[in-house]
């Protein structure tokens, strides 16, 4: 076994494996972090360990949320006559979650103690236990035990909006792009890469899918162009407005004014833009109110909260809120239908913070960015919008200038803390 236990970043795994013998790889491995990178790390590691014996009989995959600790230990301990090596993988292993009310996790503290005892006694020769999870808690006994006895592969990527975080995200996006394209001996020109990133965001699964489309579309061409990206990667009509609202959420007045100008040049109606802003402000107000409700006197620092911690500690509360909201809306619809059989109500999506919990990163972003605004500032902005909406519908005046003034005001420090300016 490797005497000096390692914690390896995903981008250094290949170099690490090239420097060691198969027999020197610990029989216990923890892979955590971004799901796409974690899948890559597992594939690389398992291929290295199995070599020519890489077949279905050597791999046993279990789902962490539905398997007992007894089953895991039994699977790792059971020998197979068909293969010389065996890898048991526990996907999404609930190693670090804390038991919360109305939530159930498959691994209790006694389960983890049992796993620690099993690790301490030793895993059978040529058998490997690989655990994957979204996040870790380095304070936990199980983490310390794995760090002591095994190998840890860190596939985490900074999710913040600081320059260093964005640089790391861009590096990962570029690396994955180069990796996928190199298999087809293709490359992206710089303009095409920036366009692809703008359309994809930090979503490695989507990035991979779009790159495969571009490889097929570009045919024999060695360089994938901006025109290829523009033709293959569909741009939703909401994207330009999203760029504008996103710039406002980080109080980037320069880019916000640039995107606003682009929208007017593309023929977007002022009321369409105004409605997007209004929806954003309403959602930010809802986020601020819910955050205060969730944590009351215990202040949560959303800007420093990483995505994985958000999914564990905040997202369940959001999902619960959305469920309660749905019940209230459904009850209201039943009442109205009794009063008027012809009356149909439309569910307002703005009342739901996580309409698609499986895609929770946009929810995480809006919670983080809500800290750029005070509740009073947002309430004042909403009052301003009501007035501006009325003026746009009832009078003839320069809508673009009015919206520009709004952007400057909302992006200024304490801009709406002062009395609302009338245009």
Query: What secondary structure, in 3-state letters, does 13-55 show?
Result: HHHHHHCCCHHHCCCEEEEEECHHHHHHHHHHHHHHHHHHHCC
Reported as a single tens digit per residue, the pLDDT across 110-166 is: 989 999 999 999 999 889 999 999 888 888 999 999 999 999 999 998 876 567 777
Phi, psi for residue 88 in degrees, rounded to 5:
-105, 120
> pLDDT tens, position by position, for the chain (423 residues)?
344 457 899 999 999 999 988 888 999 999 999 989 999 999 999 989 887 665 667 888 888 877 889 889 998 998 877 777 889 999 988 888 654 444 445 678 898 999 999 999 999 988 999 999 988 888 899 999 999 999 999 999 887 656 777 788 889 999 999 999 999 999 998 888 988 887 777 788 889 999 999 999 988 899 999 889 888 887 544 566 878 888 888 888 888 888 888 788 777 778 778 888 888 888 888 888 887 777 665 566 666 667 777 777 778 888 887 787 778 777 777 766 665 555 544 444 556 676 665 666 777 778 888 888 888 888 888 888 778 777 776 666 677 888 888 888 888 876 665 544 444
CA 190 – CA 246 distance, rounded (Å): 23
Give the predicted TM-score (pTM) of the model: 0.57
Q: Report the pLDDT value the prediction gives residue 347, as an integer from 0 to 100.
A: 46
Q: Around 184, how many Cα atoms within 13 Å sit in the side-chain half-sphere?
A: 21
CA 46 – CA 58 distance, rounded (Å): 10
Q: Report the pLDDT value the prediction gives residue 178, as an integer from 0 to 100.
A: 94
Q: Report the pLDDT value the prediction gives residue 100, as an integer from 0 to 100.
A: 44
**Which domains does the chain possess?**
7-155 (3.40.50.300), 163-232 (1.10.8.60), 239-411 (1.20.272.10)
Reported as a single tens digit per residue, the pLDDT across 382-398 is: 888 778 777 776 666 67
Query: Minimal CA–CA distance to 246: which of 284, 272, 210, 208?
Result: 284
CA 346 – CA 348 distance, rounded (Å): 6
Reported as a single tens digit per residue, the pLDDT across 336-351 is: 666 555 554 444 455 6
What does the angle CA 134 – CA 135 – CA 136 come to, to the nearest 5 degrees? 140
Q: Using an 8 Å Cβ cutoff, are 202 and 160 in contact?
A: no
Q: Report the pLDDT value the prediction gives residue 214, as an integer from 0 to 100.
A: 93
Beta-carbon contacts of 115 under 8 Å, excluding residues fewer than 6 positions away, are: 69, 72, 73, 107, 142
Burial of 6 (0-12, 13-18, 19+ CB in 10 A): middle
Torsion of CA 59, 63, 67, 72, to 10 degrees: 30
3-state helix, strand, coil in the chain (%, to 5): 60, 10, 30
CA 384 – CA 417 distance, rounded (Å): 12
């Amino acid at each position: 076994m490797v005497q000096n236990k390692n914690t390896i970043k995903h981008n250094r795994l290949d170099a690490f494996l090239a420097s060691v013998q198969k027999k020197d790889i610990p029989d216990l491995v923890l892979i955590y972090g971004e799901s796409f990178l974690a899948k890559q790390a597992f594939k690389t590691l398992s291929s290295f360990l199995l070599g020519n014996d890489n077949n279905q009989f050597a791999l046993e995959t279990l789902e962490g949320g539905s398997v007992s600790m007894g089953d895991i230990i039994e699977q790792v301990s059971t020998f197979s006559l068909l293969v010389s090596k065996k890898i048991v993988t526990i996907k999404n292993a609930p190693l670090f979650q804390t038991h919360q009310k109305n939530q159930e996790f498959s691994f209790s503290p006694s389960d983890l103690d049992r796993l620690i005892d099993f690790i301490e006694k030793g895993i059978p020769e040529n058998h490997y236990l690989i655990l994957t999870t979204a996040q870790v808690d380095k304070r936990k006994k199980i983490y310390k035990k794995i760090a002591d006895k095994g190998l840890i592969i860190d596939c985490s990527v900074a999710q913040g909006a600081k320059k260093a975080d964005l640089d790391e995200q861009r590096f990962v996006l570029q690396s994955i792009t180069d990796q996928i394209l190199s298999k087809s001996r293709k490359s992206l020109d710089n303009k095409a890469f920036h366009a692809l990133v703008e359309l994809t965001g930090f979503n490695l699964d989507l990035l991979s899918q779009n790159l495969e489309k571009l490889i097929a579309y570009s045919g024999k061409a060695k360089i994938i162009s901006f025109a290829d990206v523009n033709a293959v990667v569909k741009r939703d009509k909401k994207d330009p407005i999203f760029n504008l609202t996103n710039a406002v959420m980080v109080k980037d007045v320069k880019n916000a004014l640039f995107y606003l100008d682009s929208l007017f040049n593309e023929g977007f109606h002022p009321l369409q833009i105004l409605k997007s802003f209004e929806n954003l402000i309403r959602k930010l107000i809802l986020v601020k109110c819910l955050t205060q409700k969730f944590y009351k006197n215990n202040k949560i620092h959303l800007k420093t909260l990483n995505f994985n911690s958000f999914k564990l500690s905040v997202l369940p509360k959001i999902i619960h809120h959305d469920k309660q909201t749905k019940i209230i809306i459904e009850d209201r619809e039943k009442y109205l239908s009794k009063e008027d059989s012809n009356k149909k109500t439309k569910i307002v999506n703005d009342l739901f913070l996580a309409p698609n919990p499986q895609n929770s990163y946009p929810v995480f972003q809006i919670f983080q960015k809500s800290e750029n605004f005070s509740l009073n500032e947002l309430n004042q902005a909403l009052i301003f919008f009501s007035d501006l909406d009325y003026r746009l519908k009832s009078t003839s005046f320069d809508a673009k200038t009015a919206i520009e003034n709004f952007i400057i005001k909302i992006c200024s420090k304490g801009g709406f803390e002062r009395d609302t300016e009338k245009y």
